[in-house]
Amino acid sequence: MTAITGLRIINQKSENAEDRPEGEEKREAKRRRVPRKATPKRLERVALHYLERYSSSSENLRRVLMRRVERSARAHGTDREEGAAAIDAIVTKFQEYGYLNDRAYAEMRAGSLFRRGSSLRAIRYQLSLKGITGDIADAVIADLMEEEPDPDRRAAVAYGRRRRIGPWRRDRRDEFRDRDLAALGRQGFSYDIARWIVEAETPDELEAFIDN
């Protein structure tokens, strides 16, 4: 092989590598990687690692681990029912150790959502997505209503301020009125509260409600 031919081959390889999107090789390697068997010990290590990184409800952790069981069953033929039984044992153990506390998780999650401007209806829905039972959600919502006078109005102010809608818009308020009303409606706020936000003259008018 001549030096010129060798150079052409090297250049061709370089061009092919440059044509591939950044990170594609890593993604392909990850796809080719065979998942590990979902043994009880392996699942418990995964659960501990997950809880070190994220807060979780019992049901949410169960779903995370069950995905591991499903991948293991497809790749290695491991038994799904045995995996599910191992997960139940892990969840029960972690509840006894205090690693999982659905009431505490629901309170933390509800408080975070409320501060970001979620309505009580939206908070309840988000808790259900994480597997929080209705009785715990009811108790957390009741506590929030007791602590915060008119929580939906306070949340609506927080949402409007964060999204820069209604009086927080610098211009073209009339043009965006219906869009802002719809945005508040999608967050679970009543039409009366949505109008109260959108039709306020100034942000100070709404901020004063929070300060009271």
C-alpha distance from residue 174 to each of 72, 179, 185, 190, 207 (Å): 56, 10, 17, 20, 21
Quick one: pLDDT at residue 189? 97
Maximum Cα–Cα distance across the chain: 84
Q: What is the pLDDT of residues 148-182, one digit of tens each?
A: 889 999 999 999 999 999 999 988 899 999 999 99
CA–CA dist 90, 63 (Å, integer): 12
Return the amino acid letter for 45.
Answer: R
Backbone dihedral angles phi then psi of residue 35, each to the nearest 5 degrees: -65, 150
Quick one: pLDDT at residue 7? 40
Write the secondary structure of 156-203 as one string of H (helix), E (strand) and C (coil): HHHHHHHHCCHHHCCCCCCCCHHHHHHHHHHCCCCHHHHHHHHCCCCH
Quick one: pLDDT at residue 1? 53
177 contacts 198 by C-beta, under 8 angstroms: yes
- Per the rule left: phi > 0, alpha: psi between -120 and 50, beta: everything else, 150 is left
Return the amino acid letter for 68.
Answer: R
Return the amino acid letter for 105.
Answer: Y
C-alpha distance from residue 39 to each of 5, 36, 72, 107, 187 (Å): 53, 9, 9, 33, 42
CA–CA dist 173, 100 (Å, integer): 46
Q: Does the model's pTM come out above 0.75?
A: yes
Query: What six digits make up the tokens of 140?
Result: 């957390």
Query: What six digits make up the tokens of 55?
Result: 């807060």
CA–CA dist 93, 100 (Å, integer): 9
pLDDT beneath 70: ranges in the chain: 1-32, 211-212
Quick one: pLDDT at residue 13? 44
Quick one: pLDDT at residue 34? 82
Q: What is the pLDDT of residues 70-84, one digit of tens each?
A: 999 999 999 999 999
Other C-beta atoms closer than 10 Å to the C-beta of 58 total 20
Element (H, E) at 36: none
Quick one: pLDDT at residue 38? 92
Domain boundaries, the chain: 17-100, 102-147, 151-211
How high does pLDDT run on average in the chain?
Answer: 88
